[in-house]
Amino acid sequence: MTSIKKWPKSDRPRERLFKLGEHALTNTELLAILLRSGCRGSSALDLSRKILERFGGFGKMSHADIKRWEGLKGAGKAKIAQIRSALEIGRRFREEKARESRPVIHSSQEAAEILSPRMKHLRKEVFKVMFLDSQNRVLEIIEAEEGTVNRVSPVIREIFSRALEYLAVSLIGFHNHPSGDPKPSNDDKNFTGRLVLAGQALQINVLDHIIIGKDDYFSFSDESLI
């Protein structure tokens, strides 16, 4: 297989990126730029195609067990680390953008769209809190607790301590279900009730508790459970 270095410059992924912009490149080309090199007998583009064919896309690739990478010639630990780091940067960027642009949240869908891209792929339960001002504008997003594969126990006192720190008027809680099913458990329902009561005592409105699943989410507010 001919090395990319021997291709005409106009066909090389890196040169195409600078000429046309990253949006014009295919997933295979973008991944090839990240990998930088292939292996004996395969270019970076060939290796990129093999990786994408195995995982079916960047989302599934990002949190795949290390065993899923076995047998992929040319995909060593360094390249795997590069790929996973880049995907995580992309997910974190969405949250950082929300902090910086401070969007106004009008619905559970708008709130879920900010956090779902990262949270739906996590293999452990994580509880996050979005703090809002009087106009429902995002003030800050924090990670309150990380749990096990199927359980997380955020401390309500700490959540409201941070809410007071940011002068939040309201908040939205989020956590993920690694199983992929966003249906709330009894523990989820009991926790939500305690969270709402604590907010009422401190005059901080709990607007919603959103559970992120694989392909969907559950909103306590939309289901009139708050």
pLDDT digit string (tens) for 84-125? Answer: 888 878 777 777 776 777 889 999 999 999 999 888 888 889
| pLDDT above 70 (res 150) | no
Q: How confident is the model at residue 209 (pLDDT cuts 50, 70, 90)?
A: very high
| pLDDT above 60 (res 18) | yes
Instruction: Tell me if 181 sits within 8 A of 213, measured CB to CB.
Output: yes
| pLDDT above 70 (res 226) | yes
Question: Between 127 and 121, whose confidence is greater?
Answer: 127
| Cα R_g (the chain), whole angstroms | 21
Instruction: Tell me if 200 sits within 8 A of 165, measured CB to CB.
Output: no
What phi and psi, each to the nearest 5 degrees, are found at residue 45?
A: -65, -40
| pLDDT above 70 (res 5) | no
Cβ neighbours of residue 225 closer than 8 Å, sequence gap 6 or more: 189, 192
| Nearest in space to 47 (alpha carbons), one of 11, 1, 8, 87 | 1
Between the ranges 10-19, 96-105, 158-167, where is the mean pLDDT highest?
Answer: 158-167
What average pLDDT does the segment 23-31 reach? 88
Q: How confident is the model at residue 195 (pLDDT cuts 50, 70, 90)?
A: very high
Q: How many CB atoms lie within 10 A of CB 199?
A: 20
In the prediction, which pLDDT does 221 show? 97
Q: How many CB atoms lie within 10 A of CB 57?
A: 9
| pLDDT above 50 (res 149) | no
In the prediction, which pLDDT does 69 show? 82
pLDDT digits (tens, 9 = 90+) for 42-55: 788 888 999 998 98
Residue type, 57: G
| Nearest in space to 116 (alpha carbons), one of 197, 177, 50 | 177
Tokens of 26: 């295919």
| pLDDT above 80 (res 64) | no
Average pLDDT value for the chain: 86
